[in-house]
Amino acid sequence: MQENKKSEGNCYSKFGNNIKYMSRLGKKPITIPEKTTVTIAEGVVTVTGPLGKLEMNFKPVVEIAVENNTVVLKPINEELETLALWGTYSSIIENLVDGVNKNYEKRLIIEGVGFKAEVKGDSVSMNLGFSHPVIVKIPADIKVVMEKDNMIITGINKATVGQFAANIRAYKKPEPYKGKGIRYSDEVVRRKEGKKTT
């Protein structure tokens, strides 16, 4: 039987008789940039930077600590769920650190004859071919700007920006024949051929 070998770059490690997942992302320390502070208290990680402050509550299955201007995460046991959360928590904290230093952005394109949107106060009003305009309230930590048919959504919280963009797109998903609807700027809509007349 071939012996299991553990290497530095391997994402698997042997615990007892079981092979369990080891997160490459979780093992990597997260560098804290200048003018940014990270504090941890009772499972709540607070990140403060030039653009604002973000907080997130984490389950106590992963030990989170600040060491030498980096955030270090260590699983407290070898359970599969813990090892999976190890990498997830690392990714979330990295997003928090990045967000307070540089806004996340999503761009949507509104395409279709008569389709348009405009920002009115703390809401977005959209004409999407319905009998009435669609009005969506903008979350307090998000900024929305219209540039012709492009909706630019920015904010320090990656999850909030992504969810708001997804909610807007859901009101009128792009149809496959002419591409009418709302789509992401980098989204490729697979087109279908319309019916041919004989």
Using one digit for the tens of pLDDT, what is the confidence trace for 41-58? 999 999 999 999 999 999
Confidence of residue 10 (pLDDT cuts 50, 70, 90): very low
pLDDT tens sequence across 85-136: 999 999 999 999 999 999 999 999 999 898 999 999 999 999 999 999 999 9
Which secondary structure element, helix H or strand E, spans residue 177, and what is its range?
none
Residue 53 neighbours by CB under 8 Å, 6+ apart? 46, 47, 100
Examine residue 135 and state whether it is found in any structural domain, yes or no.
yes
Q: Are residues 109 and 150 in the same domain?
A: yes
| CA-closest candidate to residue 167, choices 150, 153, 148, 146 | 153
Confidence of residue 13 (pLDDT cuts 50, 70, 90): very low
pLDDT tens sequence across 116-125: 999 999 999 9
Q: Are residues 123 and 88 in the same domain?
A: no
Average pLDDT over residues 80-84: 87
Domain count, the chain: 2
Of the three residues 64, 81, 99, the one that is the final residue of a domain is 99
Examine residue 2 and state whether it is found in any structural domain, yes or no.
no
